Amino acid sequence: MPTDERTGPGTEALLLLRAARRTGVLEALLSSAGTPAEVAAETEVAEPEARRLVGTLADLGFFEVVGDEYEPTNRALGLLAKRDVRSIGSIPHELDRLDELVGLPETLETGVPPERHGDWEANALGAHYATDEATVRACVTAAVRAAADAESVVNLCGGSGVYAREFAARGLDATLVASPATAERLGRVHGDDVRVHEGVPATLDPGFDVAFLGDALSAMDPPEARATCAVAADLLGGDGAVVATDVFDAGDAGDDRGEAAVAAAVHGLASGHGGAHPPEAVRDWFTEAGLSDVRVSAIPGTDRHAAVGDMG
């Protein structure tokens, strides 16, 4: 049964999970070990510490006692299963981001972020799929209001497709642009509701009413973000609109940075790319892409803003 892990644990719990992952305790519990004694035998963790660690993981809801052994709960599925993005949840990616943050001092000194492991992309998709539903609805509402007559939308850099799915639920013909690897991981997650285009956007026929960028620009450095805005504009029809919903950095406007903008900046440093861009930069990118009447406004109930630019 897929987990619906949309709220992550606190800092202490994440650090405990990280320690359990790095010491091999999680792998042991999720594969062959059912008792603290077996965990100790398969790792370098002493049995008394293993007993306390496993007990705390159970207190956090990741394992439960069945008979004489500990077994994974639904909350632990994302730590084990990677084939279905619906089962991963947000926690594995939070652990990956924590690894990047722990390595931040070295990254700042060397300019080289920690190497990402093989499940990183799957974990990122799982976390994206677990994006708060209210946030998804609010961002899509902002886009629909900006292009009230829109019938079609292309979602670039759309991750797991949760935004594209919400557009489809509103009655729009939704296309998600995804890499072949992402498309393979998504499989039939969205059924026939969302058309998945494998490959680069340039192979799509232009003519969309909306080109949507949800949480995309903050994952990019300025040159890539600028180029992406241009690609989005090229996919529009004669009177379409590009809409980017994201965390923007209001610092240049004289306002205090919000918590989300600070977090985006820190994660950008830790990962080696991305961050919260100022609205002035986004306006410039939209204008350079040939868009007019560019405006940026807050999305009620979220920590995001919507940048909108019209074609023509």
Q: Per residue in 245-266, pLDDT tens?
A: 999 987 544 455 689 999 999 9
Q: What's the pLDDT at 297?
A: 95
Q: In this model, does residue 131 exceed pLDDT 90?
A: yes
pLDDT level of residue 96 (50, 70, 90 thresholds): very high
Q: Round to whole Å and give the CA distance between 279 and 12.
A: 34
The amino acid sitting at 156 is: L
Task: Kindly report, residue by residue over 148-183, the tens digit of the pLDDT.
Answer: 999 999 999 999 999 999 999 999 999 999 999 999
Q: How far apart are CA 244 and CA 308, in angstroms?
A: 7
Confidence label for 219 from pLDDT (cuts 50, 70 and 90)? very high
3-state secondary structure of 128: helix
Q: Region 134-151: what's the mean pLDDT?
A: 96
Lowest mean pLDDT, pick from 19-28, 109-118, 209-218: 109-118
Give the whole-angstrom CA distance, residue 84 versus residue 103: 29
Whether the predicted pLDDT of 238 surpasses 90: no
Single out the residue of 107, 192, 105, 196 nearest to residue 158, CA to CA: 196
**pLDDT of 1:** 31
**What is the reported pLDDT for 8?**
64
Whether 70 shows a pLDDT value over 80: the answer reads yes
pLDDT of residue 254: 46
For 171, which DSSP code? T
Average pLDDT, the chain: 93
Look at residue 48 and tell me whether its pLDDT is greater than 80. Answer: yes
pLDDT at 257: 62
96 vs 257: CA distance, rounded Å: 25
On the question of pLDDT at 112 being above 80, the answer is: yes
Q: Provide, rounded to the nearest whole percent, the portion of the chain with pLDDT above 90.
A: 87
